Amino acid sequence: MQHQSAMPERVNSALRWRCRRGMLELDIMLNQFVDSQYSLLDSEQKNTFDLLLDYPDQLLFDLFLGHMQSSDNKVSELVQTIRQAVH
């Protein structure tokens, strides 16, 4: 029993670690989203979020500020969801 309940904590801890960025603004935005909305995402959206965390900081920042748009519709939709959630 204890082993199963610890799994979400490990996943959450790993996710939070991946949300740590070189830009404070991104740290705040991503962690607010994880706190408030991540658990509501379906598995495809969670996979897209995982992909998004592989992006370089400057690209993420430009996407979140609307200075550029991803050619991947799933990424664009998730970026919009994150922007709305942390406003």
Q: Which fold has domain 2-85?
A: DNA polymerase; domain 1 (1.10.150)
d(CA 59, CA 38): 21
Handedness of CA 38, 39, 42, 47 (dihedral sign): positive
pTM of the model: 0.83
Confidence tier at 11 by pLDDT (50, 70, 90): low
| 44 token code pair | 């495809």
Confidence tier at 12 by pLDDT (50, 70, 90): confident
d(CA 44, CA 49): 9
| 84 token code pair | 């709305």
pLDDT per residue over 42-80, tens digit each? 999 999 999 999 999 999 999 999 999 999 999 999 999
d(CA 32, CA 81): 12
